[in-house]
Amino acid sequence: MVKILQKLPDPTLDAMDVAIGKKAKREKRRPYLGMSGIGQPCARQQWYGFHWVAEVTFEASTLKLFEDGHRTEDLYADRLRSVPGVTLIVADPVTGRQIGFEDFGGHFKGHMDGHIEGLLQAPVTPHVWEHKATNETKFNKLIKLGMDLGKGALKEWDFTYYVQGILYMDYGNYTRHYLTASTPGGRVDTSVRTNADPKEAQKQKDKAEKIIFDKSIPEKISDKPDYYLCRWCDNSDICHEGAASDRNCRTCTHSTARREGGWRCEYHGVDLTYDAQHEGCTSHRYNPHLVPGEVVDGDLGEGNWIEYLMPNGKKWKDG
């Protein structure tokens, strides 16, 4: 890959990056656990995200990558439709929305890029279609794996993408997945097909169920903050350094994700709207698993307080 030199000073482009960041910050947190990320190796990271322990912000460079990915996906949808005999559907004909699946009361969701039929290499079999735009190094790796492993390539190339694909196949009753991949901008492309994997799909569903409904936090993937996955994690300061989590309903010990859908505050006896979950209230008391201390006393009834012995030897009373 060609190394990009430090860019020339340009106040207009700098202001553009600031505007991109502000626009993204106005977007609210995702209310559900995504099938697109459940295959990531650290379950604790997924738990943190679902329970809104910290607001995640992205640099403008990352947001540009996301935008490039979405636009390249649209580009390839148009290109695939130009092939005679190929039918590609990217939206539910009834709702007009992206084709999606959900489970566990809507707490676990995924939206596939499309449903494709008429592939020249498999004209009869319907496939889940996904497109990924990736850098040249990763792109070349997929080509090699495709040559060596055939339908086993996706699992070795990117396990998170693999899990996303097999979950869509499982929920949509598909037997095949068709991944197209390209370099940024769609100048060079390749593809791999993947078979359904019901056993792994069930394993990932079980993982999602535990993340959603279990108030205890999964084990760390590593006790070392300089572990390569921990170094780049947005929640490393909370996980490894005991930093405070955000105060909202999802980090409160009184709130519960309901199996029939939605969230409920057991303390006030009310169902929580999405906006209410963001707002929180003065009755908030941290889920003890988010506090880096030992519970020594408490009254979650009328008193509504929990006392901890913190690692520094001092006591701290929440409430």
- Is position 285 within any domain? yes
Query: Any idea which of 34-38, 95-99, 164-168, 263-267 has the lowest mean pLDDT?
Result: 95-99
120 and 206 part of one domain: yes
- Is position 9 within any domain? no
- Report whether pLDDT(62) > 90: no
Other C-beta atoms lying within 10 Å of the C-beta of residue 259: 12
101 and 153 part of one domain: yes
* Distance from the Cα of residue 5 to its chain's centroid: 31
290 and 155 part of one domain: no
- Report whether pLDDT(238) > 50: yes
Which ranges of 153-294 does DSSP label H, i.e. alpha helix? Answer: 153-157, 159-172, 198-213, 228-231, 236-241, 274-279
173 and 255 part of one domain: no
Last residue of a domain, one of 189, 211, 233: 211
| Average predicted confidence (pLDDT) for the chain | 93
The CATH number linked to 97 is 3.90.320.10
Give the residue-averaged pLDDT of 27-32. Answer: 82
- Is position 16 within any domain? no
319/310 Cα distance (integer angstroms): 15
pLDDT, position 63: 79
In terms of phi and psi (left: phi > 0; alpha: psi -120 to 50; beta: otherwise), the region of 125 is beta
Give the residue-averaged pLDDT of 217-229. Answer: 94
Task: Write the CA distances from 21 to 24, 30, 289, integer angstroms.
Answer: 5, 17, 32
- 140 sits in which H/E element: helix 136-149
The SS3 assignment for 220 reads: coil
- Cβ within 8 Å of residue 207, ≥6 positions away: 38, 43
pLDDT, position 1: 44
Nearest residue to 155 (alpha-carbon basis) of 115, 189, 196, 101:
196
pLDDT, position 27: 56
Give the residue-averaged pLDDT of 5-31. Answer: 77
pLDDT, position 285: 98
The length of the chain, given as a count of residues? 319
82 and 176 part of one domain: yes
- Is position 222 within any domain? no
Give the residue-averaged pLDDT of 253-278. Answer: 97
- For residue 75, the 8-state DSSP code is H
Query: Any idea which of 22-26, 29-33, 66-70, 102-106 has the lowest mean pLDDT?
Result: 22-26
In terms of phi and psi (left: phi > 0; alpha: psi -120 to 50; beta: otherwise), the region of 118 is left
Nearest residue to 44 (alpha-carbon basis) of 168, 223, 185:
223
Q: Percent of the chain having pLDDT more than 90?
A: 83
- Is position 34 within any domain? no
66 and 200 part of one domain: yes
- CB burial class (10 A; 0-12, 13-18, 19+) of residue 252? buried
Query: Any idea which of 64-73, 92-101, 287-296 has the lowest mean pLDDT?
Result: 64-73
159/153 Cα distance (integer angstroms): 10
53 and 160 part of one domain: yes
Last residue of a domain, one of 184, 211, 238: 211
138 and 67 part of one domain: yes
Nearest residue to 154 (alpha-carbon basis) of 201, 195, 205:
195
- Is position 236 within any domain? no
Please, which pLDDT band fits residue 267 given cuts at 50, 70 and 90? very high
119 and 182 part of one domain: yes
- Report whether pLDDT(18) > 90: no
- Cβ within 8 Å of residue 238, ≥6 positions away: 48, 53, 54, 244, 245, 290
Q: Percent of the chain having pLDDT more than 70?
A: 96
Residue 318 has φ and ψ, to the nearest 5°, of -85, 105
The SS3 assignment for 236 reads: helix
189 and 250 part of one domain: no
Number of domains in the chain: 2
pTM of the model: 0.91
Q: pLDDT for 184-205, tens place per residue?
A: 889 999 999 999 999 999 999 9
- Is position 37 within any domain? no
57 and 121 part of one domain: yes
Last residue of a domain, one of 153, 186, 211: 211
- Is position 32 within any domain? no
58 and 148 part of one domain: yes
Q: What's the domain range around 206? A: 46-211
